[in-house]
Amino acid sequence: MGLGKTIALEHPEWRCQCIDLDSADSTESNAVFLVDELLNPSLENQIVRRNAMRLCARLVPYRPAETSKTLPVRQHGHYLICGGLGGLGLLLAKRLAARGARRLTLCGRKSASPEAASVIAELEQLGAIVHVNQTDITDAGQVQDLIATASAQSPLTGIVHAAGMLDDGVLAQLDWPRCRRVLAAKTVGLQYLHEYSLHLPLEFFIGFSSMVSLTGSPAQGAYVAANCFVDGLMQQRRAEGLSGISINWGPWAEAGMAARLDDKQRLRLSSLGILPMSAEDAFRALDRLWPNPPAQIGIMDIHWPSFLSHFPGASDMPLFESLRQPSARTLTTESAPTSPAAWPAQLESTAVADRRSLLSALVSAEINRVLGAESNRFIAPRQRLFDSGLDSLTAVELKNRLSALLACPLNTTLLFDYPTLEALTNHLATMLPVSFEVIEVAAQATTSSAIDEQTAALDLLSQQQLEDLLAEKLGLIAE
Ligand SMILES: NC(=O)c1ccc[n+]([C@@H]2O[C@H](COP(=O)([O-])OP(=O)(O)OC[C@H]3O[C@@H](n4cnc5c(N)ncnc54)[C@H](OP(=O)(O)O)[C@@H]3O)[C@@H](O)[C@H]2O)c1
């Protein structure tokens, strides 16, 4: 389902829908359901069939219990953090130690970096015993050893899976080795941790997933799929009566993957209304989920009206239905520069001679929008857009926005085929049902009226005169 969410965003023209059939039901019954979905397409793109019911995904606000407590952390507990030497792993280790945990096992494939070593020294000063274990959790034998070694020191009471990696790229650029690297720790690694810890009486088993597995994310197909696996496995654990929760985190401010993003990527997130969270806010939100944590929840600092108006397709996606409050809707309309399919009408009502420059200005504003720049920032007409900040991710976003505004499908290679503002504008002009060519239209009119006159003159000639004229023309060609 994860990859499907990205396909839907990168290629809206394919109308990708994710349908999860019911393995407990017959093939015939599932086939009837599937055909019905295919013959009656809807805007729903995350559909699950269970117990003869059609269930569609919705994001809804979560209301914690009035009597919420905190993540259970005990002095005599033993906490394993996979990915514990990474940004969020270390922040969590500090939090657990500050809350009284006295035994922590932190694992990663590499040994502790100088930064991790200094955090470990801090933890030890707080009185914690810290074991650093170099384990690749995608190796079954290493995971068995990790759990056996940790349990022998002191029974494990909590596991956090915070291992993962990013390697972004649009679907057309992805190959299996790249996908496998991103998927491995969150699929194979998590599965091993789950299987080899089944005998342990864990108070919690937390999967660090990402908000992108809720919303989808262009150019992050493998990462979205990897995080969807975390969500699915935690749902499965809960259905089996085990502890388990998947947190779809938004970006964190202090450390980790999001803190390492460059300015352009940060700007892109903030233009979507997604802000980096402080660790304090993140842990406070995590605490409020206890004593009855849901199987999956998103924790993020997000301004929904901005997100709904700028995230591709979000304004129509049923997933966000309950987040489109009247106030959010008003803001969405106000902050959106143009409504979908607005350009043809806008251009039509402009003088023909001014249409190309208007189109150029509109395209330029959209380029600036996806780059998070001021809408009137000057873009040199012949400068390569990929040299002025556009990348494969923003190219997909731009292509999708232009397609919606022009109300016509556009090729995925649009920005590669027409890499400058000028080339792009000229190409888009040919895609619109609006005339741009004042002079050409007049010239064509002259040409066609000249042809009409010639035809009328030929009508006046006799058969012999026509044959002579033809012979003369053929003679000219032969010469
Ligand atoms: N940071 C954020 O804002 C954010 C937001 C949403 C979700 N998340 C999720 O939170 C988790 C932690 O992210 P982070 O920001 O702390 O990332 P990070 O700083 O890159 O840390 C990830 C850690 O995972 C470890 N790891 C990767 N593959 C592994 C494997 N096969 N076996 C064992 N360890 C492995 C890495 O260590 P080695 O390379 O040494 O193995 C690394 O230290 C990730 O799952 C991420 O998807 C983070």
* Residue whose CA is at the smallest distance from ligand 1 atom 26: 163
CA of 469 to the centre of ligand 1 (A): 83
**Predicted local confidence at residue 330, as pLDDT:** 33
CA of 83 to the centre of ligand 1 (A): 5
- DSSP secondary structure, 274-299, as one string: EEPBPHHHHHHHHHTT-SS--SEEEE
Mean pLDDT by 10 residues, the chain (479 residues): 92 91 96 95 92 93 83 95 98 96 97 97 96 97 97 96 94 92 97 97 97 94 97 97 98 95 88 93 94 95 90 87 63 40 84 86 88 81 87 84 84 88 92 75 47 60 70 58
Which residues, 6 or more positions from 350, have their beta carbon under 8 angstroms from its beta carbon?
Answer: 358
**Predicted local confidence at residue 393, as pLDDT:** 78
Q: Which atom of ligand 1 is nearest to the CA of 276?
A: 3
Q: Give the rounded distance of the alpha carbon of 465 from its chain centre.
A: 72
Q: Which atom of ligand 1 is nearest to the CA of 258?
A: 3
- Buried/exposed code over 85-110 (b: 16+ C-beta within 10 A; e: otherwise): bbbbbbbbbbbbbebebbbbbbbbee
**Predicted local confidence at residue 409, as pLDDT:** 81
**Predicted local confidence at residue 37, as pLDDT:** 94
Q: Which atom of ligand 1 is nearest to the CA of 110?
A: 40
Residue 478 corresponds to which tokens in the numbers above?
A: 């032969």
3-state secondary structure of 19: strand
Residue 418 corresponds to which tokens in the numbers above?
A: 């027409």
Give the amino acid at 476.
L
CA of 79 to the centre of ligand 1 (A): 17
Q: Which atom of ligand 1 is nearest to the CA of 137?
A: 32
**Predicted local confidence at residue 453, as pLDDT:** 57
- Residue 441: count other Cβ atoms within 10 Å of its Cβ: 12
3-state secondary structure of 318: helix
* Residue whose CA is at the smallest distance from ligand 1 atom 34: 108
Q: Which atom of ligand 1 is nearest to the CA of 277?
A: 3
CA of 20 to the centre of ligand 1 (A): 29
Radius of gyration in angstroms for the set of CA atoms belonging to the chain, rounded to a whole number: 30
- pLDDT (tens digit, 9 = 90+) per residue, 73-122? 999 999 999 999 999 999 999 999 999 999 999 999 999 999 999 999 99
**Predicted local confidence at residue 479, as pLDDT:** 46
- What whole-number distance in Å separates Cα of residue 19 and Cα of residue 121? 49
CA of 318 to the centre of ligand 1 (A): 31
CA of 448 to the centre of ligand 1 (A): 68
Which residues, 6 or more positions from 184, have their beta carbon under 8 angstroms from its beta carbon?
Answer: 138
- DSSP secondary structure, 117-138, as one string: HHHHHHHHHTT-EEEEEE--TT
Ligand 1: residues whose CB is within 6 Å?
A: 82-83, 85-89, 107-110, 135-138, 162-165, 184-185, 189, 208, 210, 249, 251-252, 256-258
3-state secondary structure of 416: helix
Choice from 188, 230, 257 to test ligand 1 binding pocket (greatest atom count within 8 A of CB): 257
CA of 52 to the centre of ligand 1 (A): 39
Q: Which atom of ligand 1 is nearest to the CA of 136?
A: 32
| CB-based contact 340:316 (threshold 8 Å) | no
Q: Which atom of ligand 1 is nearest to the CA of 251?
A: 3
Choice from 111, 208, 233 to test ligand 1 binding pocket (greatest atom count within 8 A of CB): 208
CA of 456 to the centre of ligand 1 (A): 79
CA of 89 to the centre of ligand 1 (A): 8
Q: Which atom of ligand 1 is nearest to the CA of 212?
A: 6
Length of the chain counted residue by residue: 479
- What whole-number distance in Å separates Cα of residue 277 and Cα of residue 236? 28
| CB-based contact 170:10 (threshold 8 Å) | yes
CA of 170 to the centre of ligand 1 (A): 21
Torsion angle (degrees, nearest 10) of CA 77, 78, 84, 85: 110
- What whole-number distance in Å separates Cα of residue 205 and Cα of residue 237? 9
* Residue whose CA is at the smallest distance from ligand 1 atom 5: 251
| CB-based contact 205:243 (threshold 8 Å) | yes
* Residue whose CA is at the smallest distance from ligand 1 atom 8: 210
Choice from 80, 85, 88 to test ligand 1 binding pocket (greatest atom count within 8 A of CB): 88
Strands of the 53-56 sheet, one edge to the other: 18-20, 46-50, 53-56
CA of 86 to the centre of ligand 1 (A): 6
- What whole-number distance in Å separates Cα of residue 107 and Cα of residue 89? 9
3-state secondary structure of 242: coil
- DSSP secondary structure, 77-105, as one string: --EEEETTTSHHHHHHHHHHHHTT--EEE
Which residues, 6 or more positions from 152, have their beta carbon under 8 angstroms from its beta carbon?
Answer: none
* Residue whose CA is at the smallest distance from ligand 1 atom 48: 257
Sign of CA dihedral 287, 288, 291, 294: negative
- What whole-number distance in Å separates Cα of residue 368 and Cα of residue 382? 16
Residue 153 corresponds to which tokens in the numbers above?
A: 């020191």
